[in-house]
Copies of this chain bind each other. A is one copy, B any other.
Amino acid sequence: MDTLETRELRYFMAVAEELHFGRAAERLGMAQPPLSRAIQQLERRLGVSLLERNRRGVCLTGAGEVLLHEGRAALDATTAAARRTRRAGGVGRPGGPRNRLMLAVKAAASHELLQKLLDAYAAEPDAAEIEVLPSGMCEQEEMLRDGRADVALMHTPFNSLAGFDSEELMAEGQIAVLPAGHPLAAREALSLADVGDIPDLPLARWPRHGTYPPGPGPEIHDQTQLAQLIALGRTMAVFPDSARAWLWAEHAAVPLTDASPVVTHIAWPPHSRSLALAGLIRTATRL
């Protein structure tokens, strides 16, 4: 048959990501031989070879790469189904199954917008409960896909809206956040070229999907740490305008003339059918 059980998918994903049966088995909490066998069975059932076993580890075939991508989406969809079903069945509170909406927002972004949105929505007559899920830099997409979130605030061009429905909420420019004492802090405006290679002030590096881009700047783990490093004159960063809200006295904000505008969207999985979600979207677009 062509059924492709989720267990097999999980196994294959582990092997495809580790490229090593032993480590994959360990990650899966099982022994290596059954894992080998399961992958062999999967390959036989699909009629396709997914891995090339070299002497010394394995590597993916073309079909394996396809299954890695498509399987990720499929696994996310099934865990999303499980999570959302669990939440929908939230054990009988009075008033029937209250479906809480999970809203994913980048931790350090859109404070005012979020505040306005939550206030406006809470004032709606039949407002559902909204749980705000703080998320990392690019995590909202993943959270929407695997069902941890039902709706998210996203920021192009940092987030990709591919695969989601969305409505634009606002657009803003970007600023360079510098130590207040730095010479450039006195400027009226800067260009990306200006801030790209300040010799004594490297650009801070945020993790993207768990890894840091290369560069001379410090690796940033959270916003407070970044604020401190900027205040200490050790680094600088580029942020949307609305980041002014959390700047310190030791910081200076200088507009960037040629940075692409940051557009905030509200985004949700395209097949959503929830009334609460529809209400939230309506509220958001009316802000």
Contacts and interface: CB of A to CB of B under 8 A. Distances in A.
Interface of A: 2-7, 9-10, 46-50, 61-63, 65-67, 69-71, 73-74, 76-86, 88-89, 91, 96-97, 99, 147, 162-163, 165, 269-271, 273
A165 B62 CA distance: 23
A85 B73 contact: no
A172 to B, nearest CB: 25
Contact of A86 (B47, B73, B81, B271): B47
A46 B80 CA distance: 13
A63 B82 CA distance: 10
Contacts of A99: 62
Contacts of A270: 162-163
B48 A70 contact: no
A6 B77 CA distance: 11
A84 B97 contact: no
B85 A48 contact: yes
Contact of A46 (B71, B79, B82): B82
A49 to B, nearest CB: 7
A69 B277 CA distance: 15
A51 to B, nearest CB: 11
Given A70-B81, A70-B147, A48 B88 contact: yes
B85 A50 contact: yes
A271 B65 CA distance: 13
25 contacts: A3-B6, A4-B78, A46-B86, A47-B91, A48-B86, A48-B89, A50-B85, A61-B89, A62-B89, A62-B97, A62-B99, A63-B89, A69-B271, A69-B273, A70-B80, A70-B147, A73-B81, A74-B74, A77-B77, A77-B78, A162-B165, A162-B270, A163-B163, A163-B269, A163-B271
